[in-house]
């Protein structure tokens, strides 16, 4: 028992050192999680216990802890299996116990693993193991003479060559199973190997996507993640042949030094042949597979990280609150679908116009569009960026120029809108609308509240990834779910307007509980207090504790219900307000704000028996009760006029919105048909390790046109001001 506690402390210390935090923080996170607390709840309401760790830090601790648990479990399993075989030596036991990676444990277990029938197992069955062992003694005797002792018609060993070949197969497997040797070869391959690709079937590469990889070579230790994924995809599509090239002579000479104890005896040449066979037939393909898997894993982690960061920034784009919005889903033949949505997201009008060929009812379309703008006092037009987007943008911009009213438009990234529009969820929400009409509603609502609308779509469909189809879909889904959950809980949710899709991301709430909240709201009307949520079926005490701080009741009986303050602290908050001469009715007033600005947090925290970090959050909530973290971010770029590719000239200064960030740069929407690329080298005057260090999805940036390729419709941009 004591040994287990010591081991556990070692693991906790290791995590603390890796994450550069205290062991107390690590212990707190693990014990809070074991008690059934969620990551958002721990991050927001248990800051004293964790030292204010954020969601990402908490998740990193939990993932690392899980890896260590799995590693320990595997060690125990391997020790048991090898022990049952009666082959567990003191030395082997120590090596397994000290191993810090699963790969090391598997290498040590390799010789004792139940193997499928190999050349070596067949040779062992024929009784040739003693001959292999004799060769490895490097005796001065003649191997042919020794081999004669093993000839047997019954066992199928008819010649000296058969016997020696079998013994060499056994030696080859022994060399291959040696953990120390594999470790050295793996390290050497990483250090000096190169990833090589050659074209296999060029005719399958119709668009020459993989042309740069037809004859390509890059060091294993320098190859960047997105190239790994590109090579993998080219190989999968049968266009490329990919391998790892290494200096075989260096590796063979290492193995010979390790295994050949006396090169001057006749047996030495046979052992050398066995070593060469071992490397080429067994070790090299296996190590290559392991290294490529490791490179792929790292590349996937990077791609998932980029996708997650882009998604987080997309979800947290500032909402355009309180605006009457006209959503436009552009199209040619089937017409542009229109949806007017009021300040709360309620659909007021659905229509269709045909301003483009082949129908070209332009005059009628203009009249109808202007009438809708005026009838509904529209303040913003949201245009989807799909087919016919730029033509529709020109049509809208021309109309807005003529209007006396101040109306702007914005191009909305409609990625995933069609996925949502055709989903069961959309059919349930708008049973009487066509798919394209639902899409127009979704485009309008994305402008009003990107988070509330985007949670209805599978995160993989929102159009901000890089190679997202080439990575582990399970890992990607887990990571994206975490990002959405974190974003939703950081913003908080209005329990009286939120959809079930949004509610299910609230800490602790299941899909069933989310649906039950909506059902109860529909049956009994708006919630007027947080405590009413205790009546929701399948929402027990623990779930209530986890979720309630993130659920807001904006115009209820209890003013504190509209803040991010947890009900567990209401008594202390009322006491704090009373001490200052205020009540909960004074939330957000200038008087209360002034009184709180002079508060001695340390003294108040001791008097109220409440943590200083928690008290600081409470004070922030009392000053800005309905604070939305998204309000602090730069507003989206509103437009009144349109640009064409032909209008762009080298050196022209433009404002644009970052639409996607990838390993090699950022794609920026400057208002022409194609997003322009700012290459990583053009993002800053200083060295840029990764574009995410400089820009994020949704950022409004100043760029200059570097070059325009009219033929390919490509725009190269720079963020470096021309001299």
Asked if residue 40 is part of any domain, the answer here is: yes
Give the tokens for residue 187: 């390290």
Give the model confidence (pLDDT) of 26-44 as tens digits: 999 999 999 999 999 999 9
What pLDDT is attached to residue 2?
A: 58
Same domain, 569 and 425: no
Query: How does pLDDT run across 342-352, given as a tens digit for each residue?
Result: 998 899 999 99
Do 183 and 251 lie in a common domain? yes
**Half-sphere CA count of 701, side-chain side, radius 13 A:** 29
Q: What's the pLDDT at 419?
A: 84
269 lies in the same domain as 179 = yes
Kindly state the average pLDDT of the residues 415-439. Answer: 89
Strand partners, 195: 218, 244
pLDDT band at residue 647 under the 50/70/90 scheme:
confident
Given a contact cutoff of 8 angstroms between Cβ atoms, the answer to whether 350 and 335 are in contact is no
Q: Check residue 68 and give its pLDDT.
A: 95
**413 confidence band (pLDDT: 50, 70, 90):** confident
How far is residue 24's CA from residue 21's CA, in Å, rounded to a whole number? 8
Task: Identify whether 131 is part of a domain.
Answer: yes
The predicted model gives 305-330 an average pLDDT of 93
- Pairing mode, if any, of strands 380-384 and 325-329? parallel
CATH number of 148's domain:
1.10.3500.10
Same domain, residue pair 45 and 147: no
- Three-class secondary structure of residue 245 per DSSP: strand
Q: Which two tokens stand for residue 545?
A: 């504790």
Residue 1 has pLDDT above 60, yes or no: no
Asked whether residue 138 is assigned to any structural domain, the reply reads yes
What is the per-residue pLDDT for 690? Answer: 94
- Cβ pair 453, 414 in contact under 8 A: no
167 plus 259 within the same structural domain? yes
Distance CA 697, CA 314 (A): 6
In a domain, 510, yes or no: no
Shared domain for 102 and 129, answered yes or no, is no
Q: In which band, very low, low, confident or very high, does the pLDDT at 207 lie, cut at 50, 70 and 90?
A: confident
Same domain, 347 and 441: yes
Return the minimum-mean-pLDDT range out of 112-116, 163-167, 572-576.
112-116
Nearest Cα neighbor of 264 from 353, 138, 173 is 138
| Across 47-61, 193-207, 515-529, 642-656, least confident range | 642-656
The model's confidence at residue 414, banded by pLDDT at 50, 70 and 90, is confident
Residue 102 shares a structural domain with residue 128: no
At 86, list the tokens.
């009666």
Give the model confidence (pLDDT) of 68-83 as tens digits: 999 999 999 999 999 9
The per-residue pLDDT for range 108-141, each reduced to its tens digit, is: 999 999 888 999 999 999 999 999 999 999 999 9
- Euclidean distance between CA atoms 669 and 690, whole angstroms: 20
Q: What is the pLDDT of residues 605-646, one digit of tens each?
A: 999 999 999 999 999 999 999 888 998 877 788 877 777 888
Q: How far apart are CA 3 and CA 154, in angstroms?
A: 54
From 448, 472, 499, give the residue that closes a domain.
448
Q: Is residue 51 part of a domain?
A: yes
Which tokens hold the place of 335? 């017409």
Q: What CATH number is associated with residue 17?
A: 1.10.10.650
Report the number of distinct structural domains present in the chain.
Answer: 5
pLDDT confidence bin for 694, thresholds 50/70/90: very high
d(CA 393, CA 640): 10
Average pLDDT for the chain: 94
Q: Which band of pLDDT confidence, cut at 50, 70 and 90, is reported for residue 591?
A: very high
Domain final residue, candidates 448, 469, 501: 448
In terms of domains, do 596 and 701 share one? no
The answer to whether residue 396 sits within a structural domain is yes
- pLDDT > 70? residue 3: no
Q: What is the pLDDT of residue 713?
A: 83
Say yes or no to pLDDT of 466 above 80: no
Of 461-465, 470-474, 558-562, give the range with the top mean pLDDT: 558-562
Strand-pairing partners, residue 352, are: 337
| Residue at 553 is within a domain | no
Q: Which of 448, 476, 498 is the C-terminal boundary of a domain?
A: 448
Does residue 529 form part of some domain?
no
CB atoms within 10 A of CB 594: 10
Shared-domain flag, residues 589 and 608: yes
CA distance 708 to 717: 9
> Where residue 340 sits, what CATH number does that domain have?
3.30.420.140
Query: What is the pLDDT confidence band of residue 231, given thresholds at 50, 70 and 90?
Result: very high
DSSP at 579? H
Per-residue CA distances from 335 to 62, 331, 359 (Å): 51, 5, 8
Nearest residue to 577 (alpha-carbon basis) of 622, 529, 628? 622
Q: Are residues 273 and 348 in the same domain?
A: no
In percent, how much of the chain has pLDDT > 70? 100
pLDDT at 362: 96
Question: In terms of domains, do 124 and 273 share one?
Answer: yes
Q: Which residue has the tokens 């120590």?
A: 94
Distance of alpha carbon 379 from alpha carbon 181, whole angstroms: 70
Please tell me the number of Cα atoms within 13 Å of 466 on its side-chain side: 27
Q: Which domain holds residue 371?
A: 326-448
Token representation of residue 149? 């002792």
- Residues near 577 by Cβ (< 8 Å), separated by ≥ 6? 583, 584, 586, 592, 622
């Amino acid at each position: 028992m004591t040994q287990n506690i010591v081991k556990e402390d070692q693991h906790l210390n290791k995590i603390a050192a890796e994450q550069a935090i205290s062991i107390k923080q690590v212990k707190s996170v693990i014990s809070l999680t074991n008690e059934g607390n969620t990551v958002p709840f721990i991050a927001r309401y248990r800051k004293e216990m964790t030292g204010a760790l954020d969601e990402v830090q908490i998740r990193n601790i939990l993932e690392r802890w899980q890896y260590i648990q799995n590693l320990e479990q595997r060690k125990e399993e391997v020790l048991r299996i090898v022990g049952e075989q009666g082959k567990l030596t003191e030395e082997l036991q120590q090596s397994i116990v000290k191993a810090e990676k699963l790969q090391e444990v598997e290498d040590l277990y390799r010789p004792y693993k139940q193997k499928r029938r190999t050349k070596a197992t067949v040779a062992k069955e024929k009784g040739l193991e003693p001959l292999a062992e004799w060769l490895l003694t490097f005796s001065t005797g003649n191997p042919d003479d020794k081999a004669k002792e093993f000839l047997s018609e019954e066992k199928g060993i008819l010649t000296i060559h058969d016997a020696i070949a079998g013994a060499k197969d056994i030696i080859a497997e022994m060399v291959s199973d040696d953990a120390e040797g594999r470790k050295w070869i793996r390290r050497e391959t990483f250090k000096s190997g190169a990833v090589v690709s050659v074209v296999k079937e060029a005719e399958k590469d119709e668009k020459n996507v993989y042309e740069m990889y037809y004859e390509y070579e890059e060091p294993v230790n320098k190859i960047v993640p997105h190239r790994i994924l590109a090579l993998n995809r080219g190989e999968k599509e049968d266009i490329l042949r990919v391998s790892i090239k290494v200096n075989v002579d260096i590796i063979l000479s290492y193995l010979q030094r390790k295994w050949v104890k006396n090169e001057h005896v006749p047996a030495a040449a046979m052992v050398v042949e066995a070593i060469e066979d071992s490397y080429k037939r067994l070790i090299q393909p296996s190590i290559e597979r392991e290294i490529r898997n490791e490179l792929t894993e790292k590349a996937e982690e990077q791609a998932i990280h980029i996708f997650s960061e882009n998604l987080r920034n997309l979800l947290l784009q500032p909402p355009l609150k309180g605006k009457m919005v006209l959503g436009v889903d552009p199209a040619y033949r089937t017409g542009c679908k229109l949806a007017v949505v009021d300040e709360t997201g309620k659909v007021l009008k659905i229509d269709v116009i045909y301003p483009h060929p082949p129908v070209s009812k332009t005059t009628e379309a203009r009249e109808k569009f202007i009438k809708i703008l005026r009838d509904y006092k529209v303040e913003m037009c949201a245009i989807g960026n799909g087919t016919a987007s730029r033509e529709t943008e020109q049509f809208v911009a021309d109309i807005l120029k003529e209007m006396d009213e101040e109306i702007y438009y914005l191009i909305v990234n409609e990625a995933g809108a069609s996925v949502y529009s055709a989903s069961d969820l959309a059919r349930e929400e708008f049973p009487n609308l066509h798919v394209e009409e639902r899409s127009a509603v979704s485009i309008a609502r994305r402008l009003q509240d990107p988070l509330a609308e985007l949670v209805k779509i599978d995160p993989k469909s929102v159009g901000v990834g890089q190679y997202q189809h080439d990575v582990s879909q399970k890992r990607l889904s887990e990571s994206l779910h975490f990002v959405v959950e974190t974003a939703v809980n950081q913003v908080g949710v209005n329990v009286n307007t939120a959809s079930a899709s949004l509610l299910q991301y609230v800490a602790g709430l299941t899909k069933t509980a989310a649906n039950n909240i909506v059902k109860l709201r529909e049956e009994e009307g708006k919630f007027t207090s947080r405590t009413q949520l205790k009546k929701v079926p399948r929402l027990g005490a623990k779930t209530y504790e986890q979720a309630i701080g993130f659920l807001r009741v904006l115009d209820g009986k209890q003013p504190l219900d509209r803040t991010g303050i947890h009900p567990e602290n209401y008594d202390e908050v009322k006491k704090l307000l009373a001490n200052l001469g205020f009540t909960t009715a004074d939330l957000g007033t200038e008087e209360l704000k002034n009184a709180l600005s002079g508060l001695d947090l340390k003294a108040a925290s001791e008097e109220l028996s409440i943590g200083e970090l928690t008290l600081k959050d409470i004070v922030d909530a009392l000053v800005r009760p309905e604070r939305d973290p998204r309000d602090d971010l730069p507003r989206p770029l509103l437009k009144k006029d349109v640009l064409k590719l032909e209008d762009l000239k080298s050196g022209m200064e433009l404002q644009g919105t970052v639409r996607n960030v990838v390993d090699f740069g950022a794609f920026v929407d400057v208002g022409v048909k194609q997003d322009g690329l700012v290459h990583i080298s053009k993002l800053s005057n200083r060295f840029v390790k990764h574009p995410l260090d400089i820009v994020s999805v949704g950022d409004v940036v100043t760029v200059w046109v570097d070059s325009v390729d009219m033929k390919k419709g490509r725009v190269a941009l720079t963020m470096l001001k021309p001299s």
